[in-house]
Amino acid sequence: MVSALILIADGTEEMEFTITYDTLVRAGASCTSAFVSTEERQGDSGSYEKNPPFAKGSRGINILPDTYFSPQAHTPDKFDLLVIPGGAKGAETISNSSPVQHLVRQYLEAGKYVGMICAGSLAALTAKLPKQPLTSHPSVKDRLADAFVYSEQSVVVSGKLVTSRGPGTTFPFAFTLVELLFGKEKREEVIGPMVFPPGTWA
């Protein structure tokens, strides 16, 4: 079964997390959400073994992750896809995590897909990925434009790296991941029952 690891932190953008997770599940993927904690939150928990707390999203919606993020447990031999959503505060926590940065490089070196959306694309910078096509939320463009071949397309695929712009591009981002992992037929199969209005990008 195709499997995906979707990171989440306090301040993660709810739409980017939930739409991606939901769409991948509809395609048949096994999804695991992993909480990337700040030092303060990790100190409260005391252990990676305990259940994680609710992540408070960028709009104040509480989401209960499946597990704590663990660099030992969430290696690329266990998942086909790593997803980093945005939301300014959440993206900062995730992209500044050195274990996450290491894992991003590991996934790409192993030939696994890495998806980044919105400010989550900052992880490409902090992980020191080579210069390549990429997009992000406009608010972090200035931090990425010199290090990458910046694009303002809704979704940019560069080898195994898939980036997107923000909440409004989450569906095309998720559908692109479905197509890459499962093929075009599965993408169309997932889109149909969602009943998008005629003439939309879906």
Phi and psi at residue 4, to the nearest 5°: -130, 140
pLDDT at 47: 47
Does domain 3-194 match CATH 3.40.50.10860? no
d(CA 138, CA 142): 8
Position 45 pLDDT exceeds 50: no
Q: Which tens digit of pLDDT belongs to each residue from 169-202?
A: 999 999 999 999 999 999 999 999 999 998 886 5
Phi and psi at residue 93, to the nearest 5°: -60, -45
Q: Which of 13, 16, 31, 92 is catalytic?
A: 16
Position 42 pLDDT exceeds 60: no
Q: Which tens digit of pLDDT belongs to each residue from 13-39?
A: 999 999 999 999 999 999 999 999 986
pLDDT at 200: 82
Instruction: Find out whether 135 and 156 touch, Cβ atoms under 8 Å.
Output: yes
Position 109 pLDDT exceeds 80: yes
d(CA 184, CA 23): 14
Instruction: Find out whether 82 and 115 touch, Cβ atoms under 8 Å.
Output: yes
Q: Is 118 a catalytic residue?
A: yes
Position 106 pLDDT exceeds 70: yes
Least confident of 8-22, 34-48, 88-102, 164-178: 34-48
Other CB atoms within a 10 A radius of the CB of residue 2 amount to 17
Q: Which of 14, 74, 92, 137 is catalytic?
A: 137
Position 48 pLDDT exceeds 90: no
Model confidence at 41, pLDDT cuts 50, 70, 90, reads low
Q: Is 14 a catalytic residue?
A: no
| % pLDDT > 90, the chain | 88
Position 40 pLDDT exceeds 70: no
For the chain, the structural domain boundaries read 3-194
Q: Is 74 a catalytic residue?
A: no
Q: Which of 13, 14, 92, 118 is catalytic?
A: 118
| For range 89-113, the mean pLDDT | 97
Residues 6 or more apart in contact with residue 49 via CB below 8 angstroms: none
